[in-house]
Structure formats: C-alpha cells, structure tokens
Amino acid sequence: MEAFLSPKDSARFIAESSQDVLVEEEGVRKVAEALFDKVSAKEFSLAGWKSLHELNPQAVSDDAVNWVFLADTLNFSFWSEHEDCKCLVKYRGKMYSGYWSLCAAINRALDDGIPITSAAYYATMTLEQVRHVFRSDTDVPMPLIEERHRILKETGTILLEKFGGSFVTCVKMSEKSAQKLLRIVVENFPSYRDEATFKGKKVSFYKRAQILVADTWSSLEGKGDGCFSDISSLTIFADYRIPQVLVHLGAMRYSDELMRKLREGVMFHSGDQQEVEIRGCSIWCCGLICDHLLELYKKKGQNMSERINAVLLDYYLWDYARDHREDMKEIPIHRVRCIYY
C-alpha cells in the first residue's frame, strides 16, 4: 500500500498546486521581520508552555505526561456556531472557552477526585460519565461528546493493552526521537490518523499527533526522555486558528470564492480540496516563516536553530490568535466538525 507523504512533504505538494489558498512571499517576509525581536520573549519559548498557561501541568512527572496524552487525545473541534453562545467551563473562579474549556474540565475532574487521566478509568467510562466530566457551565455542551466518549474508550483500551496504561511507555520507546514518537502514536492510535487524499496523492497533517509530541516535549521541559534531538522536524499543527492568523497577518490569502464561503459559514468536510489547501498551505507558510527568521539571524552571525522551530512559532501564533480575537473577526475560521483538529 502506498505510504502517506509526511506533513512537510504534504504541505509542499499542496502549496505547489493550491488553487484557493495562496502563500504570500512578501507577507511571509514581513511576518518574519515582525517576529524578529519576539524570539527572545517568553511567548516564543519552551518555558512559556507552563509559565503562560496556568491550566497546563507544572510538574515534570508521569502524571503530567498522561495529562498531556488525555488532553491531546481530545484536542479537537471546540468552535461554536455563534460566538456569544458557546461551551464554557468554570474552574477556580475563572471561565474558560475553546481548548481551555477542555483543560479546565480535566482539572475540575481531578480536583473532584475523578482519575480522568488514568487509562484504567477513561477506557471504561459510560457516556453519562463523559458528559458529566466535560459538562459545560452554559447550556451549550462541548461539541462531539459522543465521539469523545468513543475515542476515550478506544485509546484507553489500546494504552492499557499495548503500553501498560501509560503514555510514558511510548515516550521511552521513542528513544528521544520526535519522529519515532509520532510514528508510534499514528501506528497505534487510530483517532490520530489525520490523513487525506489530494489530487491523487496520500497526504498527512497529523495535527494532534504532532502537538502531542510537542506538548510532551514542553511538559518534560525538553529534558530527560523529552530531550527530542529532532524536535525541529515537526511542522506547525494545522488547526482552525493558525490559518486565520496567517491570513490576518498577510502571510496567506484566500480566493474571493473561498472567502465568500467562509463568510457565509459554509461547513467543510475533513478532506475537502479547499480544506486540505487551507491546512497544507498553513503548514508550508509557517515553514517559510521559520526559514526566513533563521536567515535573518544568520545574517547577524547568530545560529538560532535551538530557539526557532515550528513548534515554538506555532505556540506563539496560536496564543497571539487567542489574544487578538477582536482584531481578527474579519477573517472567518473554516468550519469542520471532525476529530482531527
């Protein structure tokens, strides 16, 4: 059976023949220049994963790694039909939305004595128990709750049967290689197989698998079993926020026809040509921004390959998108209900 192209090779192939999404070279250059001074900021650092996000586990521990595995197994599809009518989770007096509503629900369960990050528990949860743990504090439930239940059962059972119930086993098997861990995840956990066919070729994005490797790296602070020698080989994580911010910043552009569909709130399906073009061009665009940033520093005699990679660029742009919702409201997200992002 023909193998899937890697996310990086998929992105190159998609960007080369994309019809409705364009990577703007001039825009890429401008974004790289604008980020030049940001690279040394905490928002562009590995430490930012903990210091900027109170819901992320702060310890370096097996429990933290299993927290990350649970969160990234369910890290998909939080967008709501109406911005003012969405799932919110209240945790320690603060309301959280989107991805952070998932993290708040996980931490709320742990505080209530529910061992939600233990595979032995989540592999056998009933749908009612899943609804309770991930309940919203508004009357809008978290999207795709039935799918989340199915995936918890499937993923928890595999982790118990093949890896002793702990994602730490997978991390140790990866022998400090991000690509090896990525392969272990995609080969063993079906819900992470974020793949498509584009113009006759088998392409991959592996958004949740790649962010799982990245969040594991961050949680372990890039040390010990998390000292991945090839962390820079990962791409950004093709979700629905990164494309929005790239278009907002002028590094990427949609055709008039695609922009019209996005503005009308048209629903796309995972694997549609325009959806694949949005995701593939986002990955390719961010790879060019990274290359340009490294080049700018190289011209100043500085090798920044330890400080600039797609993971840190992604985290920075995703957090930027979070903090600039209002400024970006003219650029609609592309709407897909799927388990991949």
Give the residue numbers annotated as catalytic, written as ranges: 239
Beta carbon nearer to ligand 56B, 163 or 334: 334
Half-sphere exposure of 311 (CA within 13 A, CB side): 27
Query: Taking Cα atoms as reference points, which of 67, 172, 161, 176 lies closest to residue 115?
Result: 67
d(CA 193, CA 254): 27
Backbone φ/ψ region at 32: left (φ over 0), alpha (ψ -120 to 50), beta: alpha
Instruction: Work out whether 136 is an interface residue with ligand 56B (CB under 6 A).
Output: no
Stretch binding ligand 56B (CB under 6 A), from 13-21, 148-156, 171-179, 239-247: 239-247
d(CA 39, CA 313): 9
Contact 224, 80 (CB under 8 A): no
Stretch binding ligand 56B (CB under 6 A), from 26-34, 74-82, 108-116, 141-149: 74-82
Identify residues 211-230 at the interface with ligand 56B (CB under 6 A).
211
Instruction: Work out whether 318 is an interface residue with ligand 56B (CB under 6 A).
Output: yes
Instruction: Work out whether 320 is an interface residue with ligand 56B (CB under 6 A).
Output: no
d(CA 276, CA 256): 17
Instruction: Work out whether 96 is an interface residue with ligand 56B (CB under 6 A).
Output: no
Structure tokens at 292: 């340009």
Beta carbon nearer to ligand 56B, 106 or 236: 236
Element (H, E) at 95: strand 94-97
Beta carbon nearer to ligand 56B, 163 or 332: 332
Instruction: Work out whether 239 is an interface residue with ligand 56B (CB under 6 A).
Output: yes
Instruction: Work out whether 192 is an interface residue with ligand 56B (CB under 6 A).
Output: no
Contact residues for ligand 56B, defined by CB under 6 A = 49, 53, 56, 75-76, 78-79, 98-99, 211, 236-237, 239-242, 314-315, 318-319, 322, 341
